[in-house]
Amino acid sequence: MGIRLDESVNWPALYAIYSATFGQLAEADIVQHMHEDGDLILSLMAYDDVPVGHVAYSRLTLHETPSLKAAVLAPLAVAPSFQKQGIGASLIQDSLKRLANTGYDLVLVLGEPHYYGRFGFSPRLAEKLKTPYDGPYLQALALSDKGKDAHGSVSYAQAFVELE
Ligand SMILES: CC(C)(COP(=O)(O)OP(=O)(O)OC[C@H]1O[C@@H](n2cnc3c(N)ncnc32)[C@H](O)[C@@H]1OP(=O)(O)O)[C@@H](O)C(=O)NCCC(=O)NCCS
C-alpha cells in the first residue's frame, strides 16, 4: 500500500475527510480549535494520491504526575471508501512512534477497545486516571516506563472541555 503520511496541516483536506466520515464539521472544528489554542501536538494526514485519513493529538495535563508528557488521540478518521485497508492502523502506529521519539510518555484515547487494543491501548491503565470520560471506552498506552506511573486527575485541551 503506497500511502504517504504528512505532518503539515492541510485544512481543506482535513475538513473534507471529517465531513465525509462523520457527515458533519464538528470534528474538524475541534482540530482547528486545538490549533488556535496551541494545543495541537501532532496532526498527521494520510495520502493515497488524494487525502484519505487524518489523526490529531492534543495536550493532556496530568496533575499528580506533571513531569509526564501526555497526549490525547482524537479525532481520527479514514474516508469511508478507504476504510478497512490498514490506513487507520498506519496513522496510529506511525503517530505513536513520532510521539515516543519526541519524549511522550502516555497517550489516552476514548474509543472501541476492539480497535484500539491492537495498538496496545488498555482500559486498565486508564482506570488509574480521573477524567470526564471514565469508563470501559477510555484506554491508555504507556510509551515509556514513566507513562505506567500515570494516575490521578487530568485536564484535556480546551477544545474538549467546551464539549462537556
Ligand atoms: C475507525 C477508523 C479510523 C479505522 O480506520 P481503518 O483504516 O478503516 O482501519 P484499519 O484498516 O486500520 O483497521 C480495520 C479494522 O478496524 C475495525 N473498525 C473500523 N471501524 C471500527 C469501529 N468504529 N469500531 C470498531 N472497530 C472498527 C474494522 O472492523 C477492522 O477490524 P478487523 O481488523 O478486526 O477486521 C475508520 O474506520 C473510521 O474513520 N471510522 C469512522 C469514524 C470513527 O469511528 N472514528 C474513530 C473515533 S473518532
CATH code, 56: 3.40.630.30
CA of 46 to the centre of ligand 1 (A): 15
Q: pLDDT class for 114, splitting at 50, 70, 90?
A: very high
SS3 labels along 74-87? EEEEECHHHCCCCH
Q: What is the rounded average pLDDT of the residues 100-114?
A: 98
Residue keyed to cell 477524567: 131
CA of 115 to the centre of ligand 1 (A): 6
Query: Whole-prediction pTM value?
Result: 0.94
Query: Which residue's alpha carbon is nearest to atom 10 within ligand 1?
Result: 86
Asked if residue 1 has pLDDT above 90, the reply is no
Number of domains in the chain: 1
**Inter-residue contact 112 to 136 (CB < 8 Å):** no
pLDDT tens across 19-70, in order? 999 999 999 999 999 999 999 999 999 999 999 999 999 999 999 999 999 9
- Print the domain residue range for 100: 4-161
Ligand 1 site, residue 19, Cβ cutoff 6 A: no
pLDDT at 159: 97
> CB under 8 Å to 63, separation ≥6 — which residues?
152, 153, 154, 155
